[in-house]
Structure 1
Amino acid sequence: MARRNDENISISEVLKDFIKANKLQSGIDKIEVRDAWKNLMGNGVNNYTADIQLKQSTLYVNLTSAVLREELSYGKEKIIKMINEELGKEIVKDLILR
Structure 2
Amino acid sequence: MKKPGPSASSRRNDVIDLKDGLASLVKAYRLQGKLNEVTVVASWERVMGKPVALKTKEVYVHQGKLFVRLTSAPLKHELMMAKTKVLELINAEVGEAVVREVVFL
**TM above 0.5, one fold?**
yes
TM-score by length of 1: 0.87
Instruction: Look up the match of 1:18.
Output: 25
Instruction: Look up the match of 1:9.
Output: 16
Aligned-residue sequence identity (percent) comes to 32
- Deviation of 1:5 after TM superposition, in Å, equals 8.3
* Gaps in structure 1 of 5+ consecutive residues: none
C-alpha change, 1:57 and 1:5, in structure 2 (3 Å) is: farther
Instruction: Tell me if structure 1 keeps the 8 A contact 2:37–2:98.
Output: no
- Deviation of 1:35 after TM superposition, in Å, equals 2.1
Where in structure 2 are the equivalents of 1:1-98 lying within 5 Å? 6=13, 8-98=15-105
TM-score by length of 2: 0.81
Instruction: Tell me if structure 1 keeps the 8 A contact 2:55–2:71.
Output: yes
- Deviation of 1:52 after TM superposition, in Å, equals 0.6
* Gaps in structure 2 of 5+ consecutive residues: 1-10
- Deviation of 1:65 after TM superposition, in Å, equals 0.9
Per-residue CA shift, 1:50-72, capped at 9, x if unaligned? Answer: 11111121100011111110010
What count of residue pairs does the alignment treat as equivalent? 95
**Which of the pair has more CA radius of gyration?**
2
